[in-house]
Amino acid sequence: MAQLSDDCFAFGGPMMSVYDAAALITARLGPVAETETVWLAEADGRVLAADLVAALPLPPFTNSAVDGYGVRASDLPQAGEVTLAVRGRIQAGGSAAEPVPPGHAVRIFTGAPMPSTADTVFMQEDVRLNETAATVTLPAGLKKGANVRPAGEDIPDGATVLKAGHRMRPQDIGLAAALGMTQLDVRRRVRVAVFSTGNEIVAPGEPRKTEQLFDSNRFMLMAMLARLGCQVTDLGILADDHRQIAAALEAAAAANDLILTSGGVSTGEADHVKSAVESVGSLIFWRVAIKPGRPVAMGVIRGAAFIGLPGNPVASFVTFANLARPAILAMAGTKPARTIATPVRAAFSYRKKEGRREYVRATVAAGADGTLEARKFPREGAGLLSSLVDTDGLIELDEATLTVEPGQVVAFLPYSSLM
């Protein structure tokens, strides 16, 4: 388990930008030390603990890239057609032990190994075949080596194809399989304990009083953690009781790398998480210039990291994507994939404060001229779950932006890029 010092997140400066806060988190959080070996089919989303080195070249042998006829380039004239006798037939998976004699061609198929003396392949649709005479007439103009895949063209033998710290994707698994790998050494999953607090919430399926809400944030956060490959422990709902929360925090810190919650870390007298964290560890409030998003808290409890997110669902979602996600990936031993915003045309007006990065929920569709156009969700509230469900992503407005007018180009982040 990661062991953090109580002051590893200490920060006494002015309100931080979102990017500065994320950079500080990732710089101070080291990866979990333990590793394990997993089967290749189970490696999607896992983080490599060691470089993946090619034990053979790809392709491992020189082969034909098309269905056609393999020839010796030395038999091809500078100009005009040439007719060669057809000798032999090589299918994918077959042997190419017999060389192609001078003045001959060999029938060959895609993926089949090239005979040692052949170095060029004509596509079958570009030639004229005389089956009776067992000859093929080839056009002029094809260069030596055409339609041939040399051994190692994709990856040379001994090359480092994936670095330690790389988070595996389906295409990476395909590459590892092509190299003959069956197992991979990966970092163990980050262990995260999640809980909700408050007498005003109950779990879905439990009896609900008129003045109570069903707990939604905990389930949303657990789903987002699962997408990051975390091993999640659900601590349920804790009552607004300082001692109970403090005891749960201490127990969770002993078995987890991170404790994640939402709500209860503000300065109100009913915010018991704040006092409980401070009684068993240290809590440093992030003064992050983000909307929606305050308050966000970061701390350390007995060597485990603590992140407290806002209680409003939209604020919890946005701060998880921007702050908790990079923290978790740093603990997993990797970095977040670079998020590339899509430039879209605003179809709305908006005003914001200077010095604060804001995320506006929006739907994107093609406008009348075919250009992607963003429409803002009609309501502002950070408690509106429908605003996350009925939109496609977030418009990111940087600290210097004060207004958005229709027709202005803005940066769009689809939800798929934030999880």
In a domain, 284, yes or no: yes
Residues 314 and 232 in one domain: yes
Q: How far is CA 349 from the centre of its chain?
A: 32
In a domain, 154, yes or no: no
CB atoms within 10 A of CB 26: 16
Residues 240 and 285 in one domain: yes
Token pair, residue 349, equals 């007006």
The predicted-structure confidence for 138-155, as pLDDT tens digits, reads as follows 999 899 999 999 999 999
In terms of pLDDT, which residue wins out, 335 or 320?
320
Residue 107 phi, psi dihedral angles, 5° rounding? -70, 130
- Please determine, for residue 128, whether its predicted confidence score (pLDDT) is greater than 70: yes
Residues 221 and 315 in one domain: yes
Residues 269 and 249 in one domain: yes
Residues 52 and 69 in one domain: no
Residues 53 and 69 in one domain: no
What pLDDT score was predicted for residue 200?
A: 86
- Cα–Cα distance for residue pair 310/318, rounded to 1 Å: 10
Amino acid at 75: D
- Cα–Cα distance for residue pair 232/414, rounded to 1 Å: 25
Residues 212 and 292 in one domain: yes
In a domain, 230, yes or no: yes
The predicted-structure confidence for 56-87, as pLDDT tens digits, reads as follows 999 999 999 999 999 999 999 888 899 999 99
Query: Directed axis angle between helix 18-28 and helix 325-332, to 10°?
Result: 20
- Please determine, for residue 132, whether its predicted confidence score (pLDDT) is greater than 90: no
The residue segments making up the domain with residue 180 are 41-45+48-57+163-186
Q: What are the residue ranges of helices labelled H in 266-380?
A: 272-280, 313-319, 325-332
What pLDDT score was predicted for residue 264?
A: 67
The predicted-structure confidence for 270-321, as pLDDT tens digits, reads as follows 567 888 888 998 887 677 889 998 778 888 999 999 999 988 999 999 999 9
Dihedral of alpha carbons 78, 84, 90, 92, sign: positive
What pLDDT score was predicted for residue 10?
A: 60
In a domain, 6, yes or no: no
Average pLDDT over every residue of 152-163: 97
The predicted-structure confidence for 1-37, as pLDDT tens digits, reads as follows 566 766 665 655 567 788 888 888 888 888 999 999 9
What pLDDT score was predicted for residue 277?
A: 87
Residue 251: give its domain's CATH number.
3.40.980.10
Domain boundary among 277, 297, 332: 332
What pLDDT score was predicted for residue 23?
A: 84
User: Which among 229, 205, 182 has a CA at the least distance from the CA of 32?
Assistant: 229
**Pairing between strand 82-90 and 135-138?**
antiparallel
Residue 118: give its domain's CATH number.
2.170.190.11
Provide the β-strand partners of residue 234: 194
